[in-house]
Structure 1
Amino acid sequence: MSRRVLPGLPLTLGITLVYLSIIVCLPLGALLWKAASLGPEAYWAIVSSPRAVASYRVTMLSALAATAVNVVFGLALAWVLTRYRFPGRRLLDAIVDLPFALPTAVAGIALTSLFAANGWLGGPLADLGIRVAYTPLGIMVAMTFTSIPFVVRTVQPVLEDLDPALEEAALSLGAKEGRIFRKVILPLLAPSLLAGTSLSFARSLGEFGAVIFIAGNQPFSTEITALLTYIRVEEYDYAAAAAIASVILLSAFVMLAVTNLLQARALRYKGGA
């Protein structure tokens, strides 16, 4: 008879569901309940107001741009950390987790100082006519900084576990390195890469502390949805804050659902390969 380290399924599942309900479902349910208390007409008037729509546009486009950058450079960083040995590799590996440990407000202040017109990077960029701080580009930079570890840490373990024999077999058949990456490695990485992409995008959607310092927070230009929600809370308009937040919440749910479908397809492809 096998010994169980944890209790049986009923007790373990019960504890898990209670914990999940209290920590996740209850707050989200309260948010949706508060938003629903407005009624359809009032809800639509709030979430479709010009200022709210402008904040959705800024948030979504910045999050998409940051995620696209993270997919490319996060994959490259994971590849370097996995496939090569060089001085400082362990330090670089530790730095990847820095956005997890660093308070986002501190990150925002640091990025603003770095990319301001008189900053170390902002000054040379300003001479080239490129403004980062207090522009949508600054929002993208902040989102990229805080969300890139999700891509690296989801792809890195899969790269470490890849069988080198697959690449060697492709090389022996005359395939070029680029074709091996596209046809052999990338399909195997697809599920983890999709997971990292979805986590990166979700984190970017909800990012607040790092963004508000570098964004400039100008309505219709650099105001993100999280900030607009916070403004409504400060005005004690909790129902409006819940309504605006619910739009981002529903967007995140839709994105995660689509990602899960794509992951399932990628896993079926991997299993059939």
Structure 2
Amino acid sequence: MPILNQPRSVIPGFGLTMGFSLFYLGLIFLIPVAGLLVFTATMSWADFWSAISHPQVVASYKLSFGASLVGATINLVFGMLVAWVLVRYTFPGKRIIDALVDLPFALPTAVAGISLVTLYATTGWVGQYLNLFGIKVAYTQLGVVIALTYIGLPFVVRTVQPVLEDLEAELEEASASLGASRFTTIRRVILPALLPAALTGFALAFARALGEYGSVVFISGNLPYRTEITPLLIVAKIEQFDYHGAAAIGSVMLLAAFLLLLLINGLQWWASRRR
């Protein structure tokens, strides 16, 4: 029994804290998820398949997962760049920019959606100029991607930033002194150290975008088969008192998100072992 053979901790209370942690985890997460799956299990297979395979639902899957993947990928690249600038350089207004990174955390999603519509509508501050080149953002799939990119950026920055702060600049200097080019230093010294944190930030940004509702519902226009996301479709099912249909779609989203996060965690484990 390994737990009994462990040395006594300076701060006791393992059993109490472990029990409370399991109780809290079960109350907040496991019981609601289990309730959703149990409620979905009361449906027949024919009704379940009919609910999740409707063409309108399939179109919402493609948009939600596709836009979330694109937004998370964009945040992975530019989030690492923002974190690098905030850690490695000193410039006027650095603290203000560092604080602005957390703005999507504090700003209500509905306010973010209204702000994006104000900016990117054809009469908006930015949209009116994009419209001159035939680029329409509001009420299109591009607008959905922009909204999901906006809300996911802090996850990558705040995950990568502490790792960069712990990564000593002397390692980069030593690589350069040994004759390595800048690209080689980035590829062999910096990226391996950042890869686990970057994958974590990517997974968090993707999961956050997958369940986003408030900021997307305004800028998407909610056009069926075109700009209708899956969370909006679930809300519509509930408003129509189609609870089984909403539970079925929600179960598919839950399972898909779980499998994707499991894949990301596997990649993190592989990156850590390789490092």
Scaled to the shorter chain, the TM-score interval is over 0.9
Q: What does residue 3 of structure 1 align with?
A: 10
Please list, as runs of the form range in 1=range in 2, the aligned pairs for 1:225-236 lying within 5 A after superposition: 225-236=230-241
Q: What does residue 122 of structure 1 align with?
A: 127
1:24 to 2, 5, 29: 29
Q: How far off its partner does 1:165 sit?
A: 2.2
Q: Which runs of 5+ in 1 are unaligned?
A: none
Q: Deviations over 1:76-113 (max 9, x none)?
A: 10000000111110000000000001100000000011
Please list, as runs of the form range in 1=range in 2, the aligned pairs for 1:162-241 lying within 5 A after superposition: 162-241=167-246
CA distance in structure 1 between the partners assigned to 2:206 and 2:9 by the alignment? 42
Give the total of aligned pairs: 268
Q: How far off its partner does 1:210 sit?
A: 0.2
Q: What does residue 132 of structure 1 align with?
A: 137
Please list, as runs of the form range in 1=range in 2, the aligned pairs for 1:241-252 lying within 5 A after superposition: 241-252=246-257
Query: What letter matches 1:18 in structure 2?
Result: F
CA distance in structure 1 between the partners assigned to 2:132 and 2:37 by the alignment? 47
Q: How far off its partner does 1:169 sit?
A: 1.5
Q: How far off its partner does 1:2 sit?
A: 5.5
2:117 to 103, 112, 117: 112
Q: What does residue 4 of structure 2 align with?
A: none
Q: Does 1:42 align with 2:47?
A: yes
Deviates more, 1:244-253 or 1:212-221: 244-253
CA distance in structure 1 between the partners assigned to 2:241 and 2:9 by the alignment? 57
Tell me: CA distance 1:40–1:2, structure 2 relative to 1, closer, same or farther (3 Å).
closer
Q: What does residue 70 of structure 2 align with?
A: 65
2:38 to 25, 33, 58: 33
CA distance in structure 2 between the partners assigned to 1:215 and 1:34 by the alignment? 30
CA distance in structure 2 between the partners assigned to 1:82 and 1:12 by the alignment? 36
1:150 to 155, 159, 165: 155
Cα RMSD, aligned residues only: 1.0
CA distance in structure 2 between the partners assigned to 1:130 and 1:158 by the alignment? 38
CA distance in structure 2 between the partners assigned to 1:141 and 1:253 by the alignment? 24
CA distance in structure 2 between the partners assigned to 1:3 and 1:59 by the alignment? 48
Q: What does residue 267 of structure 2 align with?
A: 262
2:106 to 91, 97, 101: 101
Query: What letter matches 1:230 in structure 2?
Result: V
Tell me: CA distance 1:20–1:2, structure 2 relative to 1, closer, same or farther (3 Å).
closer
Tell me: CA distance 1:2–1:27, structure 2 relative to 1, closer, same or farther (3 Å).
closer
Identity, in percent, stands at 52
Q: Deviations over 1:1-58 (max 9, x none)?
A: 7530xx4222111100000000111111111112111121111111011010000001
1:141 to 146, 151, 167: 146
CA distance in structure 1 between the partners assigned to 2:146 and 2:31 by the alignment? 33
CA distance in structure 2 between the partners assigned to 1:78 and 1:225 by the alignment? 31
Query: What letter matches 2:202 in structure 1?
Result: T
Q: Does 1:55 align with 2:54?
A: no
